[in-house]
Structure 1
């Protein structure tokens, strides 16, 4: 097995007086899609934000592509090739769709061929190309946020609840986009509640509970074992198709 592109070892994160992450161990396979599951409040979003340096790990280590990023500032982490799509989307509301993508193209003008590739999955972006992003629907803003993260090639995408608010047809387009990103050796760490979506896409899975990773393994193993689903998640993946 190749060395994972991202590895968390014994990561603790405190936010004020709250001890959120309590020794998280997690690996993201190089060129693969890792899924992070768990109940609300388990620590999934905190894990993504800690990787990105938005919240600092109290202890433990985070190593990305051979670099120890545990104490690095968020802009420096981004420059190494990590992009983050938060659940809140966080688009620039007063800027057009084009301007949102332009700001994310740090290495120069927009690559029109890559924009056309993105718009193949999200054709509404071209329709609203010159509209202020704040005027779009929640699902359309999610498209902008995801497009902004992939407007340039990245080594690793951290994506929090990408299907939230998206129509089923757009979810299918997003699934196709993630598959093609994997084919270009982009690694992905995905937090998601649409279990049918991740069951199809995921290579590996980690399940969190109360600030710990309580299970890691192949997604195919979890998807095929209803007893394991019930024990770890309190539900069956089949009930969320």
Structure 2
């Protein structure tokens, strides 16, 4: 485990209930500062629920969520966002009737977008500049995903949570998204990425955690998991490696 100074986010014994359902059952997760941590697991393992609990959309029934040294377990979602966490949900949640520009403008807390940061985002996602005045609903799935990630990046963030960004995307768009995330990794932004496409994340991740039945069953380096086919099969089955 990294030294405490190198840990940006830590979940310790986190349980979460939705009604009568016990969704998270003692999640222990460490996200080192900088780099990219991948959260893997089958559908229903608790990956998305973990992200929602981190950002306060769902509240932990017990356990602790600490971000950058501060306990945020029971903090309100707007306060968590202001602390430096941005969340890109699986459904992207963009405003289809608004233009690309308007979607990003709404996410700028200062009420205006910093041009230098905007130029940096255009460097990562050149298509957004071409479609700047286009309603976001008219874009392709991959372009909408770019809008969703760019919107989360329009302000400096310490931690970016991204939920299954490759779902439903064509291989060429997936490759472009991989290139963009590689560029993000070179910045001070830490990324926690939920994915099921193991072949996508095996080249991106620095560290990895695998979830099953509401808790983490494996944590380590991505290099070790990528090099161990038997471990992949035991933890992930065949469904992920066949992507």
From 211, 219, 224, the equivalent of 2:222 is 219
Cα deviation 1:25-79 (Å, max 9, x = unaligned)? 0000101211000000000000000000000000000000011000000000000
Q: 112-121 or 126-135: which moved more?
A: 112-121
Q: 95-104 or 122-131: which moved more?
A: 122-131
Aligned twin of 1:71: 74
Cα deviation 1:184-230 (Å, max 9, x = unaligned)? 22111000122112100101110000101000011111100010011
Q: 106-115 or 181-190: which moved more?
A: 106-115
Aligned twin of 2:9: 6
Shift of 1:238: 5.3
From 143, 146, 151, the equivalent of 2:146 is 143
- 5 Å matches for 1:54-93? 54-93=57-96
Q: Kindly tell me: are residues 97 and 51 of structure 1, through their superposed partners in 2, closer, same or farther at Cα, counting changes over 3 Å?
A: same
Could you list the runs of 5+ residues in structure 1 that have no partner in the other structure? none
Shift of 1:237: 6.3
In 2, the alpha carbon distance for the partners of 1:79 and 1:57 equals 20
- 5 Å matches for 1:22-171? 22-171=25-174
From 226, 232, 237, the equivalent of 1:234 is 237
Shift of 1:121: 2.9
Contact 1:2 1:30 in 2 (8 A): no
In 1, the alpha carbon distance for the partners of 2:221 and 2:191 equals 15
Shift of 1:92: 1.2
Could you list the runs of 5+ residues in structure 2 that have no partner in the other structure? none
In 2, the alpha carbon distance for the partners of 1:70 and 1:42 equals 21
TM-score (norm 2): 0.94
Cα deviation 1:152-199 (Å, max 9, x = unaligned)? 221000000112233333323322222222222211100012211210
In 1, the alpha carbon distance for the partners of 2:175 and 2:237 equals 26
Contact 1:122 1:170 in 2 (8 A): no
In 1, the alpha carbon distance for the partners of 2:201 and 2:237 equals 17
Q: 37-46 or 132-141: which moved more?
A: 132-141
The question of 1:192 aligning with 2:195 is answered yes
Aligned twin of 1:181: 184
Contact 1:160 1:191 in 2 (8 A): yes
